[in-house]
Structure 1
Amino acid sequence: MTQTKPTLHFLCGKAAAGKSTLAKSLSAAPQTVLIEEDIWLKALYADELSTVQDYLRCTRKLRSAMTPHIVSLLEAGLSVVLDFSANTVKARDWPRRILGQVDADHVLHVLNLPDDLCLERLRARNAKGEHPFAATEEQFHALNKMIEFPTAAEGFVMREYPG
């Protein structure tokens, strides 16, 4: 019987592009675990998060703490969906380091939707009040300036979702 390797899924895309929705869908596969950055950040650092720099500081701590756990899950044969931002070359170093420690496949899911669609979704999401964080339009634009969409030169297996 052929045994498949576990897969590490990670995502790149603008705020409200559908990363979390896709992550939940991917995690519906058998033997797949979803780890959601926003839930952990809110639980651990809600009082410390008001700027992009706060987010970067707190997510570094969270990623460092989560790495051994993610490696253990992959080593146990479970696939992992990281609903964490992989929006810059530096941010993608984290899953690359994880993959360097385990025998696992990977897919970088890239959602490149137009700003106007993402902003429409962001407004709707904020109005519902169900998301752990309600990003402002100003924060949306600030975060977008930081995005470095991946290229083939980075060596990741990519699945792209154009807008």
Structure 2
Amino acid sequence: MSAENGTPETPAGSTPPTGPRPEPIRFFGTSWVGHDHGYTARRIALAAGSLAAAAVACLVLCLAYQGLQIADIGSFVTLLVVVMFAVCSALAFRHTWAGFSSRPDPDRQASLRGLLTIGFIGSLLAYAFRCLIEAPGEKLHRTEYEAARARHEKRTTRRSGNPKKRRRP
């Protein structure tokens, strides 16, 4: 395995394996295929890191809320800011969670960039919870990889008709 990205290395002088290769996942490389090379430890560490980052983000938002109270801008604006962060976080959680099982549309992703930025806590929580189940995006990558392997096997092992019906010269 290559230390940089977790992809399998081929020894010098040998031919690389034929067929599709698994797509590496950030922080996991290709260890998600066989759940090897510290896969479980990485999942636990990333879940803990995401939860810690979400906790720090909540602390920063708490300080911002206290700043709004000190500024005495009014209860309506304060309520509006709290609701905005709550709604954006919920939408970001849902969008991030759905993105682990299907490829997101790039145009929709670009249009939601601002909302996802405001609701970053929801994205961090979705990442942490997904790490507790599997590597984020593993299900999508595994489905695509197995489909590519099945197509490759079908192409390479295809028979051309019934061998009994062949004419012999």
The TM-score bracket by the shorter chain reads under 0.3
Larger strand share, 1 or 2? 1
TM-score normalised by the chain length of structure 1: 0.25
Name the larger-Rg structure.
2
